[in-house]
Amino acid sequence: MKTYLDCLPCLVSQALKAARAATDDEEVQRQVVDAVAAMIPELSLGLKPPEIAQRGYRLINQITGNNDPFRQAKVETNRAALALWPKLKQLVEQSTDRLFTACKLAIFANSIDFGPDFEHGNIETIIDEATTCSLPLAVNNYDWLRSNLKNSQSLLYLGDNAGEIVFDRLLIGEIHRVKELETYFVVREKPVINDATVDDALAVGMDRVARVVSNGSDAPATILSQCSAELQRLYHSADIVIAKGQGNYESLEGEPGNIFFFLRAKCPLIAELLGVSVGDCVLKRQV
């Protein structure tokens, strides 16, 4: 997906949010905003949105000297999500379609994002939404997903945010009930926003259900050209790919592969491209 003009003011907004998380020094925060704004005229709209975000966050790290401003927030979010594990398991076990319920929970959990200006509830709200089905899937390719899983041998699961990955672990466990697949869970190489790293994945026990793999990149998405040789090999050999989050949609939309996108539409532009409303939940197969 290319970058649209609408993405540029969002970049500045995210830069300010990250700068405030990185330092209380308003002068440094101003330096960040000025530097990111000055970068915009040099950016090609042919870049994918996560590529321009990557450049912005590298600049923020350089100016503030803080390469992981959301570190403590990630730790706390992982702990909060893990505390809900018994309730999550109960929800799934008591449902008529365990896999579908786990899919919805994983998609609803994509709300846990410190990047876009998206305020759609906390972790408890996610549970309430899943329980009441108050947010049906606006795009629902679940039947295709279940059929593809049964006919696959390997799964590449591209993770997104800390906290959210607890819900991903639950879903992977339910996938193994349907079909025991060789499963790889992919995280970022370095901290960026509240995206999950290897440390986050291990902290929530992801290694119990999948092999945890770093993608070799610090982009807030999966930019295949930047990924490690191992990740590229796994991507191209996987029978099925689950890509979590709006960033992975922005980076992988149009790429080859049997991809299923799990996300909440967090901005008007993405919502329009998907034919949904902001806040809607999406389970979409790449076609």
Cβ-in-10-Å burial (0-12, 13-18, 19+) of 151 comes to exposed
Does 82 reside within a domain? yes
Residue pLDDT, tens place only, 127-143: 666 566 556 899 999 99
User: Do 111 and 253 reside in the same domain of the chain?
Assistant: yes
CATH code of the domain covering residue 266:
3.40.50.10880
Q: How far is CA 249 from CA 30, 68, 76, 110, 112, in A?
A: 31, 24, 26, 12, 16
CATH code of the domain covering residue 19:
1.10.8
Strands of the chain, DSSP E? 137-140, 154-158, 182-187, 211-214, 240-244, 259-264, 281-285
- In angstroms and rounded to an integer, the radius of gyration of the C-alpha atoms of the chain is 18
User: Do 99 and 153 reside in the same domain of the chain?
Assistant: yes
**pTM, rounded to two decimals:** 0.94
Does 95 reside within a domain? yes
Does 1 reside within a domain? no
- Domain extent, residue 269, equals 71-285
User: Do 82 and 223 reside in the same domain of the chain?
Assistant: yes
Per-residue pLDDT of the chain (287 residues; tens, 9 = 90+): 899 999 999 999 999 999 999 999 999 999 999 999 999 999 999 999 999 999 999 999 999 999 999 999 899 999 989 998 999 999 999 999 999 999 999 999 998 876 555 454 466 666 666 566 556 899 999 999 999 999 999 999 999 999 999 999 999 999 999 999 999 999 999 999 999 999 999 999 999 999 999 999 999 999 999 999 999 999 999 999 999 999 999 999 999 999 999 999 999 999 999 999 998 999 999 97
Cβ-in-10-Å burial (0-12, 13-18, 19+) of 119 comes to exposed
Does 29 reside within a domain? yes
